[in-house]
Chains A and B, each alone.
Chain A
Amino acid sequence: MAVAAKTGNEAMAEAMRQINPDVVAAYPITPATEIVMIFAQFVADGLVDTEYVPVESEHSAMSACVGAASAGARVMTGTSSQGLAYMYEILPIAAALRLPIVMCEVNRAISGPINIHCDHSDTMAARDFGWIQMFSENAQEAYDNTLQAVRIAETVKLPTMATTDGFIISHCMERIETLEDDQVKDFIGEYKLTPSLLDIENPTTRGALDLQDYYFEHHVGVGEAMKGARSIIKSVAEDFNKKFGRKYDLIEGYKLEDAERVIVALGSTCGTLRAVIDELREKGAKVGLLKIRVFRPFPADEIAKALSNCRSVAVLDRVEPWSGVGSQTFVEVRSALFNLAKKPKLINYMYGLGGRDISLKELAGVYENLKKADSLQEVNYLGVGE
C-alpha cells in the first residue's frame, strides 16, 4: 500500500497500469485526455505489456475494443462526453456479445451547447446500453472502482464503466492509497475467454443477424445478467474490503439510519454533502445522504429499503434529460419507492449542469426545503438563473 497525491485521471491511469490490460484502444477527449496520455507514456516506457491502439475516433476505439475482447483480450478504454456519445452505437453491441470491456469514463456535459465541464448527461444517456455503471465520489474511489470493474465485468460478462466527475475529480489532486502491483494482479486474476474468436480449431460466429426468432432471447439474456450483477458487485466489493480494508456497496448511506430528510446523489457532490450534513447535524437536524455508487444495475430494492423510514427525499441529479418529467435518477428512485406502503415525499433537483458549481449553502437550502417538501413542486432546478 502506497500513499500518493494523484488526480482522478492519474489514479485511473495508475489502475490501468497495474491492471496491465492486453489491449487498450483509446482516443483523447477533454477531460479524459490525460488518462490516455499517461497510459500512452506507460506504453512508451515499457511499463505495460499492452497492445495500445491509438485510434482515429472514439467510435473506432469502442469498435477495436469489441474486436479485441472477442479475441479474448482483457480490454480497456477511456473517454468522456462527445466521445462516449460517439461510442453509443457500439456500447450495446459490446453488451450483447457479453464482452467484459472496462471503460474509465469522465463525466462531462453533452453538447449542445458545447461545454467541457462536469455533468452526468453523457453517462446517463448511456444507461440503457447494457453497461454496468459505477460513479466515484473522489480519486480514491475512481482508483478502487476501476480495479473492481475488471473483476465485475469478467464475472458478469458485461462491459463496465467506472466514472469520475470531469475536472472536479479528474483534475483535482487528492491523497490516495494505491495497492502494490502484485496485490492488483492477485485481485484481478487471470482472464481467459473460451472459445475466443482466435480459436481457429473451434471457430465461432459472433454478432450474427438476429431476427424475430432469437433477438428477444438474447436481449433477455443481457437483462438477466444485469440483474444478477448486483450480487456479484457486492461480493467483489466484499473481497476488496477483506483484502484492502476499503468498504463498498451498491449504495452507501451517510448518517442515514435516523435521517428524516435525505438527499440522494451521485459522484463528487456526495463529498460536499457530507460536510453539509455534519454541519446541520451539529445543529440537531436529522439529515442524511444516500449515495448511489452503482447506477446500472439499478439498486432499486436497496434504495427502497434505505429510504423507507425517512419523511422527505430530494434526488439531486447533475443532468437535465429534457424529458419533461425530471432526471433519470429521480424517475428511477420514484419507481423504486412506488410499492412501499409508507413512502417519503420525493422531489427532484437538477443542478450543476455544464460544471456549474454547487455550494454548501445551496445544498443546505435543499435540506431546509425538505421540511416543507409537501408544498414544493416535484421537479426543480437548483442554482439556475431564471
Chain B
Amino acid sequence: MASLKDLANRKEGLSGGHRACIGCGATIVARQIMLASPDPVVVVSATGCLEVTTTIFPYSAWNVPFLHNAFENAAATLSGVEAAYNAFMRKGKIAKKINFIAFGGDGGTYDIGFQSLSGAMERGHNLLYVCYNNEAYMNTGVQRSGATPRGANTTTEPVGKVRQGKVKFQKDLTAIIAAHNIPFVGQSIVGNWADLTRKAEKAFATPGAKFINVLQPCRLGWAYKPEETAALGRLAADTCVWPLYEVEKGILKVTFKPREKKSIMDYIKKQDRFRHLTRPENAGLVAEIQAEIDRRWELLISKDGKQLY
C-alpha cells in the first residue's frame, strides 16, 4: 500500500479556497480518496456539502474533471460518464486508464439517491462510489437521514419533551450494498488515513462497481472542537459505533479491532448532538444504544473471515 510519501507524490485533487466549514471532514475524505488513485480520476458529486462548498461559480476547488448533476443521481450520472469512456475506449478514441469516483453525502446515498446507487451497483459499472457519511443532511441544517443514529438530535427529528432525538437506529447501508454482490465494499472513517486509502486503493485496483462508506465527523451537525475531526472518527472505531471492515469478493474482513472497546459514553460526551443522552433520565436509552452497538459488533466479528456472498 502507498505510504504518505507515495501519496504526496500524487496529484492533489482539491485546492484550498473552498467554503467547507472549519475542520470539515468531507474534504478530508475527498482528498484522501483521490490521492489513493494511482491513475487520473474523474469525479461526480451529488448535491450536498462537498459540492456546494467546492464549486461556487466562478471558484472551483477541483483540480480534476468534476461534474455535478443533481442530488439523488451521482451514481447514475457517473455510470453515464463511465459508459461514454467505454464507448470511446472501444472506438480507440481514448486509451488512458481513468478511475471514476462518485461522492455523495448520506442524504444523497442512503435516502434520495439509494435507487440510483443500487442500479449502478447492480449494473456493475467500473466506478467507486464513496459516501461521506456525516449522519444527517448537514448542508441544509442538520435534518435527519436514514444514516442518523438513534438518539441523535436533528432538526427534523429533534429532542423534545417526549422524544429524545432519532427514534430508530440507522440502516446498514454497507451491508445492503455488499448484498449487491459487487467485488468490493468497505467501511472506513476520517481519522485513519491508512485504512481509508488502502480500501480506496483496493477499490481502484478491482474492476467493477465498488462502494466505500466513510463515517465523517461534521463540525456543524455533531458540534465538537474543530481540531478533533480525525480523532472523533477514530473514537467511532474504538467504540465500535462504526466498525472498519470490508467485503472483498464476498469475504468479510474486519480491518480494525480495538484493543479495548471503549464505552459508547466516551463517544456521546464529545458531541453536542448527543448532549441530552448524558442526562440521568436517558441512561436507559443509552444502555439500549450500547446494547445494539454491541450486538451489531458481535455479529460482525462472528462473520470475520467468512464468505458472505
Could you tell me which A residues sit within 8 Å of B by CB distance?
22-23, 25, 49-51, 53-57, 59-61, 63-73, 75, 89-90, 93, 197-200, 203-211, 213-214
How many A-B contacts are there with CB distance less than 8 Å?
168
Q: Which residues of chain B are within 8 angstroms of A56 by Cβ–Cβ distance?
A: 115-116, 118-119, 122
* Min CB–CB distance B36 → chain A (angstroms): 17
B68–A210 CB distance below 8 A: no
| A64 CA to B119 CA, complexed, in Å | 11
Of the candidates A22, A55, A71, the one whose C-beta lies within 8 Å of that of B119 is A55
Q: Which residues of chain B are within 8 angstroms of A70 by Cβ–Cβ distance?
A: 67, 80-81
B101-126 interface with A by 8 A CB criterion: 115-116, 118-120, 122-123
Of the candidates B42, B75, B96, the one whose C-beta lies within 8 Å of that of A197 is B42
* Min CB–CB distance B308 → chain A (angstroms): 24
7 shortest interchain CB distances as A-B pairs:
A67-B80, A64-B80, A56-B119, A71-B84, A60-B76, A63-B73, A207-B68
| A244 CA to B64 CA, complexed, in Å | 45
| A189 CA to B228 CA, complexed, in Å | 57
Q: Which residues of chain A are within 8 angstroms of B271 by Cβ–Cβ distance?
A: none
B80–A65 CB distance below 8 A: yes
| A75 CA to B88 CA, complexed, in Å | 13
* Contact digits for B69-85, partner A, Cβ 8 Å, 1 yes 0 no: 11011011111111111
| A57 CA to B116 CA, complexed, in Å | 8
| A59 CA to B52 CA, complexed, in Å | 22
| A67 CA to B82 CA, complexed, in Å | 8
Q: How many of chain B's residues touch chain A, expressed as a range? A: 35 or more
A60–B119 CB distance below 8 A: yes
B62: Cβ under 8 A from any A Cβ: yes
Question: Known interface pairs A205-B55, A213-B57. Does A197 touch B87 (Cβ–Cβ under 8 Å)?
Answer: no
A207–B63 CB distance below 8 A: no
A23–B96 CB distance below 8 A: no
Q: A90-B70, A205-B55, A209-B51 are in contact. List 15 more A-B contacts (CB 8 A).
A: A23-B87, A49-B90, A55-B123, A59-B72, A60-B75, A64-B77, A67-B84, A73-B87, A198-B84, A198-B88, A200-B96, A203-B63, A208-B55, A208-B58, A208-B68
Counting chain B CB atoms within 10 Å of each CB, which of A25, A51, A57, A69 scores highest? A51
Of the candidates B65, B87, B88, the one whose C-beta lies within 8 Å of that of A203 is B65
* Min CB–CB distance A57 → chain B (angstroms): 6
Question: Known interface pairs A51-B87, A208-B56, A209-B51. Does A67 touch B70 (Cβ–Cβ under 8 Å)?
Answer: no
Q: Which residues of chain B are within 8 angstroms of A54 by Cβ–Cβ distance?
A: 123
| A54 CA to B76 CA, complexed, in Å | 11
Q: Which residues of chain B are within 8 angstroms of A205 by Cβ–Cβ distance?
A: 55, 60, 62, 65-67
* Min CB–CB distance B223 → chain A (angstroms): 25
B65–A204 CB distance below 8 A: yes
| A176 CA to B123 CA, complexed, in Å | 36
Question: Known interface pairs A23-B87, A198-B42. Does A63 touch B81 (Cβ–Cβ under 8 Å)?
Answer: no
A211–B57 CB distance below 8 A: yes
Q: Which residues of chain A are within 8 angstroms of B118 by Cβ–Cβ distance?
A: 56
B94: Cβ under 8 A from any A Cβ: yes
* Min CB–CB distance A44 → chain B (angstroms): 16
| A63 CA to B80 CA, complexed, in Å | 7
| A70 CA to B57 CA, complexed, in Å | 18
A199–B88 CB distance below 8 A: no
B44: Cβ under 8 A from any A Cβ: yes
A206–B66 CB distance below 8 A: yes
Q: Can you list 15 A-B contacts with CB-CB less than 8 angstroms, sorted by A residue number?
A: A51-B83, A57-B116, A60-B75, A61-B76, A63-B69, A63-B73, A64-B77, A65-B80, A67-B77, A68-B87, A89-B70, A90-B69, A90-B70, A197-B81, A200-B42
Question: Known interface pairs A59-B76, A64-B80, A210-B57. Does A71 touch B85 (Cβ–Cβ under 8 Å)?
Answer: yes
Q: Which residues of chain B are within 8 angstroms of A197 by Cβ–Cβ distance?
A: 42, 65, 67, 81
